[in-house]
Structure 1
Amino acid sequence: MQMTFSVLDAEGGRAERRFDVAQLIVAGWAGRDRAAVEEHIHELAAIGVPAPSSVPVYYRVAEALLCQCDAGQPVQVLGGDTSGEIEAVLFADGDELLLGVGSDHTDRKLEAYSIAFSKQISAKPVSRELWRLKDVEDYWDELVLRSWAVIDGERCLYQEGNVASLLHPRELFERYGFADRQLAPGHAMFCGTLGVQGGIRPGSHFEGELYDPRRNRSLRLSYAVETLPVVA
């Protein structure tokens, strides 16, 4: 799948880049604190969500689900049980790693049946702008993920935290089996999400950002959620 991005360098320059994404991987249960991950597994098991086969776990998802949305552009979903999750996303354009932000939009009702199936049913919006990983990797743990959702007509902070709470992308690459802790060319990986404030719930709009405090800049995405009827 060919996609076009604007790659922003550390000095503020911008270059258009078009490249093919051949495989998409979503990393789940990617927290650094193993005890906290195990506790969350047990919490979800109590409401019927099956435990992952490994920690972290990697889901192969159709690359055709990747999309880019302008502010307010809708993502169409089936039924009213879906919600977004903010994540850092890495793209391997040849040997260069490019960093974006994305939403692993997921069907929560289907998740209770199969997490793998739930990952496959919804679009995966990503930012139109990317940074070079090499520009931020030295201070990776300082980066901040945030998301907001419009729920019952009110915009509220949905997720917020440093990426330090998640496994470093290089470790995710290594555990997946990529050589030299390097994402293979043509691959993209969602690198795990944060806990939700106030509980997982659907919204009519989802926004997210990856914030670089050293350079005071952000990568952003924003989309509306258009719910399609479930017809028997």
Structure 2
Amino acid sequence: MLHFSLPDGQRVSVEVRSVLNAGFSGRSDDVVAAHIAELAALGIPAPNVTPCLYPVAPYLATQSGEVLVQHGRTSGEVEWALVITRDDVLLTVASDHTDRDLERHGVGWSKQVAPNVLSHQAWRFAEVAERMDAMTLTAWVRNGEWTEIQNGTCADLQPPKYWLDVMEANNLHVPGTVLMSGTLPMRRGVNQFADAWRGELSDPTTGRTLTAEYHVRRLPDPIA
């Protein structure tokens, strides 16, 4: 179950039944090429088509403040997320945490072994849809101190309507579905393999901000 607080004070609970991770979803060919290039530097092959959509297990959607990992080469990605409820569509901010070592063997595999961390706050998508492109997405990593690693506007990514149409066409637009937007390129020279991540979705029209933040903790080495 995910639980969201809305600006009017209402709380909405959603039982997650499906999680969809969009990938390589930049609206600009240059943005997509930049993201493919940064992943290629990590040894991750380019996809056959873009944008992509990777279904992952529903239990990977979480609002936990801690992500447990098995090695030091995992990292997050700031994204917006749509949450389909029984009578509404919510918009929130999230981080698609990913195993970068496993990503070299398969993007879908790497997304299946790490969680999607969502904010505890959300907005009704219908109330903000018209100004979505002006909203900003920003991420920071903590390596001793907080450093900005991603920044852009929602106009840099495929719009929510694109993914809503994809979900409708594939019978995926059902209550309990969480759709992650895909992400922005990371700043060069910033270590993404950090001990904490923070992502924000900001609405310059209202000054409101949604935040998702979590610590990354490495598990003990196996006894084997």
Q: Is residue 83 of structure 2 the alignment partner of residue 91 of structure 1? A: yes
Q: Is residue 55 of structure 2 the alignment partner of residue 63 of structure 1? A: no
Identify the match of residue 141 of structure 1 among 109, 115, 133: 133
Question: What is the TM-score of this pair, normalised by structure 2?
Answer: 0.91
Report the CA distance shift for 1:56/1:154 in structure 2 as closer, same or farther (over 3 A): same
Q: Is residue 39 of structure 2 the alignment partner of residue 48 of structure 1? A: no
Q: Which amino acid aligns with 1:169?
A: P
- Stretches of structure 1 that go unaligned for 5 or more consecutive residues are none
- For residues 201-221 of structure 1, the C-alpha deviation after alignment (integer angstroms, 9 at most, x for no partner) is 200111111001000010111
Number of the residue aligned with 1:187: 177
CA distance in 1, matches of 2:184, 2:171: 23
| Aligned pairs (5 A) from 1:8-87 | 8=7, 13-38=8-33, 40-41=35-36, 44-45=39-40, 47-69=42-64, 73-87=65-79
CA distance in 1, matches of 2:84, 2:95: 18
Q: Which amino acid aligns with 1:75?
A: V
Q: Secondary structure at the match of 1:178?
A: helix
Number of the residue aligned with 1:5: 4
Percent of residue pairs identical? 36
How big is the shift at 1:50?
Answer: 1.9
Could you tell me whether the CA contact under 8 Å between 2:79 and 2:182 is conserved in 1?
yes
Number of the residue aligned with 1:159: 150
CA distance in 2, matches of 1:202, 1:43: 14
Q: Is residue 123 of structure 2 the alignment partner of residue 131 of structure 1? A: yes
Report the CA distance shift for 1:36/1:214 in structure 2 as closer, same or farther (over 3 A): closer
Report the CA distance shift for 1:114/1:181 in structure 2 as closer, same or farther (over 3 A): closer
Q: Which amino acid aligns with 1:107?
A: D
Report the CA distance shift for 1:45/1:202 in structure 2 as closer, same or farther (over 3 A): closer
CA distance in 2, matches of 1:122, 1:66: 10
Question: What is the TM-score of this pair, normalised by structure 1?
Answer: 0.88
- Stretches of structure 2 that go unaligned for 5 or more consecutive residues are none
User: How many residue pairs get matched?
Assistant: 222
Number of the residue aligned with 1:203: 194
Report the CA distance shift for 1:43/1:146 in structure 2 as closer, same or farther (over 3 A): closer
Number of the residue aligned with 2:209: 218
> Over aligned residues, Cα RMSD in angstroms?
2.1
Could you tell me whether the CA contact under 8 Å between 2:90 and 2:122 is conserved in 1?
yes
Report the CA distance shift for 1:81/1:179 in structure 2 as closer, same or farther (over 3 A): same
Report the CA distance shift for 1:122/1:46 in structure 2 as closer, same or farther (over 3 A): closer
How big is the shift at 1:230?
Answer: 4.6
How big is the shift at 1:42?
Answer: 5.2
Could you tell me whether the CA contact under 8 Å between 2:35 and 2:185 is conserved in 1?
no
Q: Secondary structure at the match of 2:36?
A: helix
- For residues 136-178 of structure 1, the C-alpha deviation after alignment (integer angstroms, 9 at most, x for no partner) is 1111100000111112x1210111110101010111232x351
Could you tell me whether the CA contact under 8 Å between 1:173 and 1:181 is conserved in 2?
no
Report the CA distance shift for 1:116/1:181 in structure 2 as closer, same or farther (over 3 A): closer
CA distance in 1, matches of 2:14, 2:31: 37
How big is the shift at 1:103?
Answer: 0.4
